[in-house]
Amino acid sequence: MYQALLTNRYLTSRVIPLLAVAAVALCVALVIVVVSVMTGFLDMVRDSGRKLMGDVVISHPIYGIPHYEALLEELTKTSGVAAATPVIDSWGLLKMPYPQGDSKTTRTVQIWGVEPETFEQVTDFSTSIVWRQVEAYSPAWQYLLEDLFTQQSTAIIEALDLDQRIALLCVIKEDPELRDATPEDRLAIANQLSLESWQAILRTAARVPTLTEECLGTETWQSILARDPRLITPDAILEDGVTISRDNGTIPGIVMGLHVSELNVRSSDRTTVPHNNWYWWMPRFDVTLTTMPIDQKGGIVTEPSSRILPVANEFQSGVYLIDETRVLVPLDVAQDLMNLDEATIVDEFDPDIELGVDPARTTMVLVRAEQGLTPEELQVKVREAYTKFYEGLIKEQDLLVWPPSPNSLTLNIMTWEEQQAGFIGPVENERRLIQTLFSIVYVVCAALVLAIFWAIVYEKTRDIGILRSVGASRTGIVWIFLRYGLVVGSVGAVVGLGLGWLVVTNINGIHSALEEPPLILSWIFFVLAAISLILTVVLSWRGSLLPLVLGLMITVLLTILAIGILLLDGMGGVAIWDPSIYYFTDIPSSLDWWSAFGTMVGAVVFSLVGAIIPAAKAADTDPVKALRYE
């Protein structure tokens, strides 16, 4: 019973136990934050890899897989396969719509040619589409309207009757003479304006859509807006992204990674906003995609292939490396650009003799497993399906072009994790290494507890002597300090868990504050520093040195924090997490609970280890010498 009473007394009667708790809490929080971020980073790598590539990948780079339609048909009949989609993977140049002379106009991109419908079934691609709605009269909507008025100005002007032209002219020109003129004079002025003048009037009208609608009337206004479905249907921009097309699927388009455009900038709330007040919103523009095709013998075709494509939308996978390099186009567009579309085989010596047809190809097939089936189990089924596909073609002896055999060294049938092993493996090893290195913090924790408890034992020598003289056993004395260590370790572990949870769940907000330091916080620190200085001066009149030292230390610390925030703001903030280095746009912010509980247990165990030596020292105290101790 006395052990519990003494433990409680020692814990509540001195400040030094709080220092021990704080030391344990900081050690626990440090390990939890670091391990959680690394574990979250690894989880993000795994999740994004599986989302972007399905569960199993069949690939035959460069030359592609002919007769892939038969392979897809065989896969869809295979039990355990939820969906399969063909993909062409290549590289090319993308000419952006930036001003002429801009060094960023042309950049290298990874091209994925996909079938939108089946690609969505395998990857849930629609969830990564960035622009999901165009709200009426928003900046993006107004730029689309201005583009429409600019590109179709002649057709729009011809669609207006004379009264509508005059009404539009009166409102846009804002000329008093025109407003007060007679109808005949207005008609004469309207007829005298050139096409270029009307085009300028329409561009101005696009900037005041409400007034323009009043001038033209609702029916005419709606008929003009219908020329671009995105102006009348808010979700049309999302549909364009999903189908990788424009104008209700009639025009093949391109969907770019969000950071392919270097004029997409992150705002203070971590969302992306096009530069210059939405002027550089990419779905407004066309881009030119250029590739260097390879012929069937592995040689490079002398003439590059180019295609002008409208930007249908942009996507954000969360993996910065992908978002800054990858673009998606319809499969047939990619086949045409890469010389992988269907073609006629002619005689090598006499081009006029047609030998047969070279079928269209795809370089990859992504396969998604049904619920409950692991990628490894699906891999076995996909291998069997590919073998059936190949053996089925063997029976057709008249084929001129054959897919790679199941045993070909250039054919790869891998799970998504095997496909990404070169990236996932090092990240996993780094996580283990960091977890091992930061486990040294436990030793620091034990050393701090040992030093603090040794000082407590030295301070309580007389108390220990009294306990020993009245019959307390060595075991009882040891148990007092072990209980002491257990409580310090447990409380410190719980506090450290709470502190670690706060940091991890708010880590992106903390990072944003470092990027854009809040100046109000600097003034708060200056005020607190001034209050601390005043209190220090008042307390120093009592003649005690400790309040003076502590007060000055707190004042200096607060002042340094305040000045540091001002300096950070002057430098434009600091970005510790660079997405181009760490691949992901956001820092992982989910607590790794299993590692956290393991860290807490480790902290308690090492606190007990740190308490054992002082406890043994206390148990060995000679009662006679202790009672004579001053």
Distance CA 343, CA 329 (A): 20
> In 3-state terms, what secondary structure has residue 94?
strand
Give the 3-state DSSP-derived string for 147-182, with helices as H, strands as E and coil as C.
HHHHHCHHHHHHHCCHHHHHHHHHHHHCCHHHHHCC
Q: Which helix (H) or strand (E) holds 49?
A: helix 16-53
pLDDT band at residue 215 under the 50/70/90 scheme: confident
Question: How many other C-beta atoms can be found within 10 angstroms of the C-beta atom of residue 418?
Answer: 16
Contact 284, 143 (CB under 8 A): yes
Is pLDDT of 184 > 80?
A: no
Where in the chain are the domains?
A: 1-50+416-507+589-630, 61-120+235-410, 139-232
Contact 328, 120 (CB under 8 A): no
Environment class of residue 285 by beta-carbon count within 10 Å: exposed (0-12), middle (13-18) or buried (19+)?
middle
Contact 193, 175 (CB under 8 A): no
Least confident of 32-36, 113-117, 267-271: 267-271
User: Among all chains, which residue has been given the structure tokens 């921009």?
Assistant: 237
Contact 116, 243 (CB under 8 A): yes
> In 3-state terms, what secondary structure has residue 215?
helix
Mean pLDDT over 558-567 rounds to 79
Mean of the per-residue pLDDT values for the chain?
A: 79
User: Token pair for residue 232?
Assistant: 């009348």
The contacts found for 459-465 with CB under 8 angstroms, 24 or more apart, are 460/10, 460/618, 461/621, 461/626, 461/629, 462/626, 462/627, 462/629, 463/6, 464/618, 464/621, 464/626, 465/621, 465/622, 465/623, 465/624, 465/625, 465/626, 465/627, 465/629
Contact 511, 574 (CB under 8 A): no
Distance CA 348, CA 355 (A): 10
Contact 131, 273 (CB under 8 A): no
Mean pLDDT over 312-323 rounds to 85
* pLDDT for residue 587: 76
Pairing of strands 106-114, 326-330: parallel
Rg of the chain, C-alpha, whole Å:
36
* Backbone φ and ψ of 411, nearest 5°: -95, 130
Is pLDDT of 94 > 90?
A: yes
Give the 3-state DSSP-derived string for 214-235, with helices as H, strands as E and coil as C.
HHHCHHHHHHHHCCCHHHHCCC
* pLDDT for residue 445: 74
* Backbone φ and ψ of 282, nearest 5°: -60, -35
Is pLDDT of 186 > 90?
A: no
Task: Provide the whole-model pTM.
Answer: 0.75
Distance CA 166, CA 178 (A): 10
201-210, 350-359, 539-548: which is most confident: 201-210
Pairing of strands 254-257, 305-315: parallel
Q: Report angle CA 582, 585, 586 to the nearest 5 degrees.
A: 95
According to DSSP, the residues that pair with 306 across neighbouring strands are 290
Give 486's Cβ-side CA count (13 Å radius). Answer: 10
Is pLDDT of 438 > 50?
A: yes
> Using one digit for the tens of pLDDT, what is the confidence trace for 71-89?
999 999 999 999 999 999 9
Q: Which helix (H) or strand (E) holds 435?
A: helix 421-438
> In 3-state terms, what secondary structure has residue 246?
strand
188-202, 365-379, 512-526: which is most confident: 365-379
Report CA-CA distances (Å) from 570 to 564, 573, 578: 10, 7, 20
Is pLDDT of 630 > 60?
A: no
Mean pLDDT over 139-144 rounds to 91
Contact 84, 90 (CB under 8 A): no
What's the distance, CA 229 to chain centroid?
30
Q: Report angle CA 52, 53, 56 to the nearest 5 degrees.
A: 155
Environment class of residue 548 by beta-carbon count within 10 Å: exposed (0-12), middle (13-18) or buried (19+)?
middle
Pairing of strands 305-315, 343-346: unpaired
Higher pLDDT pick, 74 / 624: 74
Contact 330, 82 (CB under 8 A): no
Mean pLDDT over 37-61 rounds to 80
Mark out the alpha helices in 54-207 (DSSP H runs): 68-77, 116-123, 139-151, 153-159, 162-173, 176-180, 183-192, 195-206
Distance CA 256, CA 262 (A): 12
* pLDDT for residue 257: 92
> Using one digit for the tens of pLDDT, what is the confidence trace for 563-598?
877 777 666 666 666 665 555 667 777 787 888 888
* pLDDT for residue 2: 47
Distance CA 96, CA 288 (A): 7
